Amino acid sequence: MRVVAKNFEVGKPGSCKMVPEVNEDFWHLYNLLSHDDIVRCVTFRKLKGNDGGVGGRTKGPGKTKRVRIGVKVEMIEFDQETCTVRVRGRNLTENPWIPLGSYHTLELAKDRQFEIEKEDWDAMHVERIQTAADPTRDADVAAVVMQSNGTANLCMIGNHMTTRKEKIDLNIPKKRVGSTTRHDKSIKRFHEAILASILKHIQFDVVKCIILASPGFVKDDFYRFLLEEAQRRDIREVIENKSKFILCHSSSGHMHSIKEILEDPAVSVRLADTKAAGEVKVLQNFYKAMKVDESRAVYGWLHVHAAAQVQAIQDLLITDALFRCSDYEERRRYVDFVDSVREAKGTVHIFSVLHPSGAELTQLTGISAILRFPCPDIIELEEEVDGDSSS
């Protein structure tokens, strides 16, 4: 994200002009925008054949008019497949083509400037902009998970999003004794489809590494085909970036295997400085702490808030979805809570729900914590609350 101009302070009204540059910027925007914000940008209004603006009529085919307007946000949509953000609200800018106060939908586009105005910029808003504007954010990782039945998924793992770029689903017949021609041809088509997908979607000068994962030896067979084909066809991108490929085991060729391969020690070493790997590691630490002593790992607002009251939180794990609630007071509660944990020298890890680890944390209510010391009283507090509610 390129920040063009900013005029805001925490706790005060202000505005910020930005230009989205990469797909992940739109996920940041989705988390940055709130109900009642004002968004200003260029939009395109399709005029009817008889619409010449106020006081005029024209004949002929409709035209598209370029208009700059501002809307007061009432609805925010994020499309993960296309990585686009749309905001809908009432028009605040008087012009001849879009009536004042009428509803209009703005689609925020890559490389097109827009402006956000907020009545109250909180700490999480500011942090989100700083993260989006960080020039080191593009430490993307590519992963291809595959299995012997002809299924493969090519994904891009960014700092905040795991995006499937292509799914391959071919029918591979079983190998029969004495007749392997049909099976071998199907395997070759499968390998060729994966190679074509890699060449189409992966920017070798950007990605840090390319993970090939599968059950059994499917990945090994493909990697052998990849190197042989690169030599035969003189595919320089593959030949010159051979060291970026990592082979590891996965239980399947489906998307849910991404979290599994990020836990592989060999992969973790290569991805040590990426956010996705960091999320996986801290979530693993949470489960380890819970296994050793359940009073050292808590989840749910009741438990985590009680732990914060005695400054016991060492690591706070929280999903970005909790900051997108439309209720201003509820959002403020989570923002203030994060600030209080940081003031108490706790480390805050904000998980993206578009990563498998963030989706898993969501199943644990979206908030959990690793504690500095055991807090058995917190478990008793839960029992007391349950007892009170049942009486």
pLDDT in tens, 322-352: 998 777 788 889 999 999 999 999 999 999 8
Q: Which pair of tokens denotes residue 208?
A: 């840090």
Min mean pLDDT across 7-11, 174-178, 317-321, 355-359 is at: 174-178
Q: What is the pLDDT of residue 325?
A: 79
Residue 177 pLDDT = 65
pTM (2 decimals)?
0.69
**What's the mean pLDDT in 343-372?**
92
pLDDT at 24 (0 to 100): 83
pLDDT digits (tens, 9 = 90+) for 265-277: 777 777 665 667 7
**Using 50, 70 and 90 to split pLDDT, how confident is the model at 212?**
very high
Nearest residue to 8 via CA among 176, 123, 104: 123
What is the rounded CA–CA span in Å between residue 64 and residue 61?
A: 10
Mean pLDDT throughout 207-233? 94
* Range of weakest confidence among 40-54, 106-120, 192-206, 298-312: 40-54
pLDDT of residue 21: 87
Output the pLDDT for position 274.
66
Please tell me the predicted confidence (pLDDT) of residue 65.
82
Identify the band that residue 56 occupies on the pLDDT scale cut at 50, 70 and 90.
very low
57 pLDDT tier (thresholds 50, 70, 90): very low
Q: Higher pLDDT residue, 198 or 356?
A: 198
How many residues comprise the chain?
A: 391
Given a contact cutoff of 8 angstroms between Cβ atoms, the answer to whether 361 and 315 are in contact is no
More confident residue, 258 or 222: 222
Tell me: pLDDT of 62 over 90: no
pLDDT, greater one: 372 or 54: 372
User: 168 pLDDT band (50/70/90 cuts)?
Assistant: very high
Count CB neighbours of 323 within 10 A.
21
Is residue 137 predicted with pLDDT exceeding 70? no
Cα separation of the two ends of the chain = 54
Per-residue pLDDT, 273: 58
Please report the pLDDT score of residue 55 as a whole number: 44
Angle subtended by helix axes 123-132 and 328-343, to nearest 10: 80
Q: Are 316 and 286 in contact (CB under 8 A)?
A: no
Contact 368, 314 (CB under 8 A): no
Tell me what the pLDDT averaged over the chain comes to: 86
- The C-alpha angle 282, 126, 351, rounded to 5 degrees, equals 20
Structural domains in the chain plus CATH codes: 2-132 (2.30.30.870), 141-272 (3.30.420.60), 276-390 (3.30.1330.30)
* Dist CA 270 CA 285 (whole Å): 19
How much is the pLDDT for 179? 60
pLDDT at 391 over 60: no
Examine the pLDDT at 97 and tell me if it is beyond 80: yes
Range 66-87 average pLDDT: 89
Residue 258 has pLDDT above 60, yes or no: yes
Question: Would the pLDDT of 50 be above 60?
Answer: no
- For residue 136, the model assigns a pLDDT of 55
pLDDT confidence of residue 178 = 60
- How far apart are the C-alpha atoms of 112 and 149, rounded to whole Å? 43
Mean pLDDT of the region 298-323: 94
Cα–Cα distance measured from residue 79 to residue 87, given in angstroms and rounded to the nearest whole number: 12
Average pLDDT over residues 354-363: 89
